[in-house]
């Protein structure tokens, strides 16, 4: 069977312990239905770029203004990645150096705020990210963070509430976007509020960047001053991040990333980001992005038919948040049972969750990785059925193992891209 992992003969000879783990992980990724909303399978080309000799090079600074010699090939590489990002997203300015999504967001704080100034972001329990000012994050400790949530009746952001909060708290920075938001983000609505209160609007599109690139979600370009994204979720690139902005924020953001927060960029990651962005510009990628949404919609319908309670009643994007309270089970035992049954996802708080964050009421489901494998709307009821049966069979290990065998049989027809 083909695995999404090139052969590693040198690794196997030099370090069989690590080689064994790599091979077993490739097999595990083949054998499970991966519904973790932030994960995907990158192409073999992206993997090769990530494993390239650009990992050997230091290049603090930006193209044409580096602090080390030997940049003859790094400069064109970084400029290529930037040009491709501009073409895919239509942004005026792009920085591809942030190490990951969290450092990218920190750079926004450094560019826009002074310590103690006010940021308005979505609360973590409602679907926001830690770096949107949550208390345990540096962004919550060093800045005055206030939070909006979702309406209890609808499970959706209420822009009237966001506006009231913004008028009362006068934030200098507003974040929209999140990690568990199943509905379309109204960038224009957020932009109007930011403009009214004189705040900078940052759109964190880490989860939906691939949908935006493929035309399956509206773009924040033209609405948000600053856009932050990881490159490894629906965008299907290497682990990394990008910041995009209007020309006005170009210099402050570049300075915040380097020398403000980081040293040398990870050039092997830059290479792989460039490859992922070339892929993201193709008609095949657009079809993939639309298929992710169609699959999530079909999976949501199939779960609703089986008595699942979905936050906001469904989904507009790649993500489904299910409240398991009606099933009489917590998110954590359900996620563990599903993992045993070969279905990988994460337990998650739901808005207004009465349970504790380490054992919340919900599970989060995403369709990017299964879409990359070629599963379509026809397979989504099968997945819903596996989920329903595994949740009901919690604690019954033979039953869960039997489901895992059925999962492997289904996936044999959908090899990972190699």
The catalytic site residues sit at: 58, 60, 204, 230, 233, 239
- 165-194 residues near ligand PLP, rule: CB under 6 A: 177-179
Binding region for ligand PLP (CB under 6 A) out of 18-26, 83-91, 203-211, 396-404? 203-211
Verify binding: residue 262, ligand PLP, rule CB under 6 A. no
Closer CB to ligand PLP, residue 129 or residue 156?
129
- Output the smallest distance, CB 98 to ligand PLP, in A: 9
Closer CB to ligand PLP, residue 100 or residue 144?
100
Q: In angstroms, how far is CA 399 from the centroid of its own chain?
A: 32
Q: Are 183 and 317 in contact, with CB atoms under 8 Å apart?
A: yes
Backbone angles phi, psi at 184, to 5 degrees: -60, 135
DSSP 8-state assignment for residue 247: G
Which residues sit in the known binding site for (6S)-5,6,7,8-tetrahydrofolate?
124, 128-130, 247
Q: Are 120 and 147 in contact, with CB atoms under 8 Å apart?
A: yes
Tokens 């609360």 locate to 123
Which residues sit in the known binding site?
124, 128-130, 247
Query: Is it true that the peptide bond before 259 is cis, omega within 30 degrees of 0?
Result: yes
Candidates 34, 57, 129, 156; binder of ligand PLP (CB under 6 A) is 129
- Output the smallest distance, CB 37 to ligand PLP, in A: 8
Q: Are 80 and 245 in contact, with CB atoms under 8 Å apart?
A: no
**Could you write out the three-class secondary structure of 170-200?**
CCCEEEECCCCCCCCCCHHHHHHHHHHHCCE
- 45-104 residues near ligand PLP, rule: CB under 6 A: 100-102
The DSSP-derived string for 78-90 is HHHHHHHHHHHH-
256 token code pair = 């915040």
- Output the smallest distance, CB 38 to ligand PLP, in A: 5
- 225-254 residues near ligand PLP, rule: CB under 6 A: 230
Candidates 93, 183, 207, 340; binder of ligand PLP (CB under 6 A) is 207
CA-nearest of 202, 93, 190 to 139 is 202
DSSP 8-state assignment for residue 103: H
The contact set with ligand PLP (CB under 6 A) reads 38, 100-102, 105, 129, 131, 177-179, 204, 206-207, 230
């Amino acid at each position: 069977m083909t695995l999404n992992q090139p052969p590693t003969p040198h690794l196997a000879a030099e370090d069989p312990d690590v080689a064994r783990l790599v091979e077993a992980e490739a097999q595990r990724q083949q054998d499970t239905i991966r519904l973790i909303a932030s994960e995907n399978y990158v192409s073999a080309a992206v993997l090769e770029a990530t494993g390239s000799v650009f990992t050997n090079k230091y290049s603090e600074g930006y193209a044409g203004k580096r602090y080390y010699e030997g940049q003859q090939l790094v400069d064109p590489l970084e400029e290529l990645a930037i040009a491709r990002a501009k073409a895919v997203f239509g942004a005026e300015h792009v920085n591809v150096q942030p190490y990951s999504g969290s450092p990218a967001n920190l750079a926004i704080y450094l560019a826009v705020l002074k310590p103690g100034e006010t940021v308005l972001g979505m609360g973590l329990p409602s679907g926001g990210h830690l770096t949107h000012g949550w208390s345990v994050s540096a962004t919550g400790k060093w800045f005055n963070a206030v939070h909006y949530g979702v309406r209890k009746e609808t499970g959706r952001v209420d822009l009237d509430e966001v506006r009231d909060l913004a008028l009362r708290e006068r934030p200098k920075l507003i974040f929209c976007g999140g990690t568990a938001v199943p509905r379309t983000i109204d960038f224009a609505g957020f932009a109007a509020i930011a403009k009214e209160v004189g705040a900078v609007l940052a759109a964190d599109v880490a989860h939906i960047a691939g949908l935006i690139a493929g035309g399956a979600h509206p773009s924040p370009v033209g609405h948000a001053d600053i856009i932050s994204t990881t490159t490894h979720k629906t965008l299907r690139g290497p682990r990394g991040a990008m910041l995009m902005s209007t020309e006005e924020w170009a210099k402050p953001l570049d300075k915040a990333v380097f020398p403000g927060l980081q040293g040398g960029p990870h050039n092997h990651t830059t290479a792989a980001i460039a490859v992922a962005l070339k892929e993201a510009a193709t008609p095949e990628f657009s079809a993939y992005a639309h298929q992710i949404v169609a699959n999530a919609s079909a999976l949501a319908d199939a779960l609703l038919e089986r008595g699942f309670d979905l936050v906001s009643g469904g989904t507009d994007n790649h993500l489904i948040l299910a409240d398991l309270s009606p099933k009489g089970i917590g998110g954590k035992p359900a996620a563990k049972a599903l993992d045993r049954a070969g279905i990988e996802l994460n337990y998650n708080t739901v808005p207004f969750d009465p349970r504790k964050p380490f054992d919340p009421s919900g599970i989060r489901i995403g369709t990017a990785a299964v879409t990359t494998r070629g599963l379509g709307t026809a397979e989504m009821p099968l997945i819903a059925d596996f989920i329903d049966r595994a949740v009901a069979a919690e604690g019954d290990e033979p039953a869960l193992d039997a489901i895992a065998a059925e999962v492997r049989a289904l996936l044999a027809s959908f090899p990972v891209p190699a």
